[in-house]
């Protein structure tokens, strides 16, 4: 079977975890890791040695020719995180980095681009902008991560199994992510009578990265799982529905009274395509909160 080419941009906490997750899938692939820190070659060598008995997968470091031949690209590069702060603080530096990376490569295979770097909604928007919004194979992880965490805390607070939990957050990844309580269910039933528990679950989900950072660690496992799940749905041609970041379509822009921004809605991944759900089914309070998220993100459109 022909190997697919994957490039992971950034070999920090998240990028290296994504590379390791892909390595563990043991499928026919070549993983090319890009990082400006040449010392990361040691980490790639370690992963290469770990895969030495698996003849289906191989790794390389900073191979720009293979980057141009990528079938999938994970954008995970970031400036070093030194303080606990808002994801939007480093927006301009990361936008400039994205322009430098994607503005200087001529892809041969029209790859899928999965954006993880923060602020992920702003980054996804500006990578779309590089391609004049004509590339339909760009997706941001968006509020998929908050949803992962929300479902975990719902399970914990309601003391039930994970498959009995339904719920998600939409909007901007981070502090203004919007819990969709109107569509949160436990064991198939609305949480209206236990709304405070659901609110506590969403609060814990949004605060989780800050709590991890205060303890001296960085979030990497859950977000890497989100990114690799998107890849697996595409590669294995599986149909899934997740919250993720796409450029809002006309209907959703009209509903939120905003310019096109990248903001998380529910998205169907089906037969290699990204299909954005309408936000019309949400309640008035949720729509108003999403309008606030969109307004925050619009401020970065012209950066």
pLDDT at 220 over 60: yes
pLDDT tens per residue, range 227-265: 999 999 999 999 999 999 999 999 999 999 999 999 999
Q: Of 183, 154, 205, 166, nearest to 287 (Cα)?
A: 183
Q: Phi-psi region for residue 110, left (φ > 0), alpha (ψ -120 to 50) or beta?
A: left
- Domain housing 267: 144-298
Q: Report the percentage of the chain scoring pLDDT > 90.
A: 86
73 to each of 78, 97, 205, 259, how far by Cα in Å?
15, 15, 27, 27
Cβ partners under 8 Å of residue 276, min gap 6: 246, 248, 249, 252, 265, 266, 267
236 & 134 share domain: no
Residue 132 included in any domain:
yes
Q: What is the mean pLDDT of residues 193-206?
A: 96
Q: What is the mean pLDDT of residues 32-52?
A: 92
- 169 within 8 A of 150, measured Cβ to Cβ: yes
Among the listed ranges 1-5, 154-158, 200-204, which one has the minimum average pLDDT value?
1-5
- 151 within 8 A of 165, measured Cβ to Cβ: yes
pLDDT at 27 over 70: yes
- 245 within 8 A of 261, measured Cβ to Cβ: no
Q: What is the mean pLDDT of residues 158-163?
A: 95
89 & 187 share domain: no
Average pLDDT score over the chain: 94
Write down the pTM of the prediction.
0.95
pLDDT at 107 over 90: yes
pLDDT at 83 over 50: no
Q: What is the mean pLDDT of residues 292-300?
A: 94
Q: Of 108, 140, 172, which residue is a domain's last?
A: 140
pLDDT at 82 over 50: no
- 228 within 8 A of 144, measured Cβ to Cβ: no
Q: Of 83, 109, 140, which residue is a domain's last?
A: 140
Residue 26 included in any domain:
yes
Give the number of domains in the chain.
2
Q: Of 95, 110, 140, which residue is a domain's last?
A: 140
pLDDT of residue 5: 98
pLDDT of residue 87: 55
Residue 192 included in any domain:
yes
Residue 19 included in any domain:
yes
Q: What is the CA radius of gyration of the chain?
A: 19
pLDDT at 291 over 60: yes
Distance from C-alpha of 167 to C-alpha of 131, rounded to nearest angstrom = 33
């Amino acid at each position: 079977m022909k190997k697919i080419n994957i490039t992971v941009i950034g070999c920090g906490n998240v990028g290296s975890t994504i590379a390791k997750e892909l390595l563990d899938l043991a499928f026919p692939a070549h993983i090319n890791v890009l990082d400006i820190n040449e010392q990361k070659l040691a980490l790639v060598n370690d992963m290469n040695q770990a895969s030495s008995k698996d003849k289906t997968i191989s790794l390389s470091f900073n191979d720009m020719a293979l980057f141009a031949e990528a079938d999938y690209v994970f954008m995970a590069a970031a400036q070093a995180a030194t303080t606990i702060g808002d994801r939007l603080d480093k927006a301009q530096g990361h936008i400039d980095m994205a322009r430098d990376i994607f503005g200087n490569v001529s892809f041969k295979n029209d790859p899928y681009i999965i954006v993880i770097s923060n602020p992920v909604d702003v980054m996804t928007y500006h990578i779309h902008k590089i391609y004049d919004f004509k590339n339909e194979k760009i997706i941001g992880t968006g509020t998929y991560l908050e949803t992962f965490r929300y479902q975990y805390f719902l399970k914990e607070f309601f003391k039930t199994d994970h498959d009995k939990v339904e719920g998600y957050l939409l909007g901007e990844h981070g502090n203004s992510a919007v819990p969709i309580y109107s569509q949160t269910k436990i064991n198939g039933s609305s949480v209206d009578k236990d709304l405070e528990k659901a609110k506590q679950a969403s609060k814990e989900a949004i605060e989780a990265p800050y709590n991890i950072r205060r303890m001296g660690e960085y979030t990497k496992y859950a977000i890497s799982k989100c990114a690799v799940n998107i890849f697996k749905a595409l590669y294995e041609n599986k149909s899934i529905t997740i919250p993720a970041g796409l450029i809002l379509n006309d209907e959703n822009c009209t509903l939120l009274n905003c310019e096109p921004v990248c903001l998380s809605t529910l998205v169907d991944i089906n037969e290699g395509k990204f299909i954005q759900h309408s936000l019309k089914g949400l309640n008035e309070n949720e729509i108003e909160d999403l309008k606030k998220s969109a307004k925050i993100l619009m401020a970065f459109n012209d950066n």
